[in-house]
Amino acid sequence: MIATLLIQHEKLEQLPSGGTLSPYGVHQKHGQITSQALQLLSSQRRQFSNTYISVKLDETSGVAVMKLKRPPVNSLNMELLTEFAINLEKLEIDRGCRGVILTSAVPRIFSAGLDITEMCGKNADHYGEFWRAVQEMWLKLYGSSMVTIAAINGSSPAGGCLMALSCDYRIIANNKKYTIGLNETQLGIVAPFWFKDIITEVIGHRAAERSLQLGMLYSPTDALKIGLVDEVVAEDKVQSTASAVMAQWLTLPDHARQITKSMMRKPSLDRLVTHREADITNFVSYITRDSIQKSLQMYMEMLKKKGR
């Protein structure tokens, strides 16, 4: 139902083209392609936009840029998570798309993580549905066969960090004000096993243990030191670096890279798929505890006071 609505509402823009494109290059139909025609071809883009996500697919390079656009902080509510999973699935089945750059349209913020208001003062059915949407986003992103690059152009705590960690490569803007990490314990909550698994895979057991217990948020340079991100670049170079890294990754034959990626990620994906229902039950029984609700409410109040 939601999927149908989203597809009906999407704006599909097709720019003019002078010929046929394939993901792997230009197919020449008649005679020589002029430089003007090449220019037109190289600008062929498909764009679609939903409420909280915009996607631009460059059919020449096969690279889509997916932007989160939910001001003020791109917090991940049910609708954004659902749009995200649907858009990623659309790109996944689109033979013209080989890579996705995930970034933010909101200045200074990549994503503030899960929308805390989705986890406060609601009923058990809501929490169950919300958690399923969080799982779905992760299964789709971490399990994507495309090359995924996080262009982290702002702060990225908790669920925002999880999104970045789920990509193949992370580039963050060099700005001391930005922080990234899994800070759940600072909210008085526990990151679930699959958050723990993925950060352990990326930064190793010792660093993950310290990072998770203390709910650490790192500056870009400190994140680089522990391997939480792969590159720190000037703020105005984040997108161009992401495009350059993507072009490099796309020189590899898809099938070899995809099978290798799947081999590396399958155990963690399988673990969540196998325990999915138990993980939802666990989340619901945990989040409905009075003590957890109090912690989250206090954290939200603290955020609001800070903002005043």
Does 220 interact with ligand LOHRUJSQ (rule: CB under 6 A)?
no
Our answer to whether residue 162 is catalytic in this structure is no
Helix 254-274 vs helix 193-203: crossing angle, to nearest 10: 140
Distance CA 121, CA 287 (A): 10
Q: Which of 54, 155, 219, 241 binds ligand LOHRUJSQ (CB under 6 A)?
A: 155
Nearer to ligand LOHRUJSQ, 158 or 164 (CB): 158
Does 109 interact with ligand LOHRUJSQ (rule: CB under 6 A)?
yes
Least Å distance, CB 85 to ligand LOHRUJSQ, is 16
Q: Which of 59, 79, 83, 115 binds ligand LOHRUJSQ (CB under 6 A)?
A: 115
Nearer to ligand LOHRUJSQ, 26 or 202 (CB): 202
Of 114, 162, 212, 228, which residue is the catalytic one? 114
Our answer to whether residue 183 is catalytic in this structure is yes
Q: Which of 41, 81, 150, 158 binds ligand LOHRUJSQ (CB under 6 A)?
A: 158
Nearer to ligand LOHRUJSQ, 48 or 194 (CB): 194
Of 174-203, which residues contact ligand LOHRUJSQ (CB under 6 A)?
183-184, 187, 189-192
Of 28-47, which residues contact ligand LOHRUJSQ (CB under 6 A)?
none
Q: Which of 63, 64, 85, 114 binds ligand LOHRUJSQ (CB under 6 A)?
A: 114
- The number of CA neighbours under 13 Å toward the Cβ of 179 is 11
Does 168 interact with ligand LOHRUJSQ (rule: CB under 6 A)?
no
Q: Which residues are CB-contacts of 117 (< 8 A; sequence separation ≥ 6)?
A: 75, 77, 300
Least Å distance, CB 218 to ligand LOHRUJSQ, is 13
C-beta separation of 216 from 209 below 8 A: no
Our answer to whether residue 40 is catalytic in this structure is no
Of 62, 96, 143, 159, which residue is the catalytic one? 159
Of 66-105, which residues contact ligand LOHRUJSQ (CB under 6 A)?
72-73, 75
Our answer to whether residue 184 is catalytic in this structure is yes
SS (H, E, C) the chain: CHHHHHHHHCCCEECCCCCEEECCEEECCCCCCCHHHHHHHHCCEEEEECCCEEEEEECCCCEEEEEECCCCCCCECHHHHHHHHHHHHHHHHCCCCCEEEEEECCCEECCCCECHHHHCCCCHHHHHHHHHHHHHHHHHHHCCCCEEEEEECEEEECHHHHHHHCCCEEEEECCCCCCEECCHHHHCCCCCHHHHHHHHHHHCHHHHHHHHHHCCCECHHHHHHCCCCCEEECHHHHHHHHHHHHHHHCCCCHHHHHHHHHHHHHHHHHHHHHCHHHHHHHHHHHHCCHHHHHHHHHHHHHHHHHHC
Does 136 interact with ligand LOHRUJSQ (rule: CB under 6 A)?
no
| Residues labelled as active-site residues | 114, 159, 183-184
Residues that bind ligand LOHRUJSQ (CB under 6 A): 72-73, 75, 109, 112-117, 155, 157-159, 183-184, 187, 189-192, 282-283, 286, 303-304, 306-307
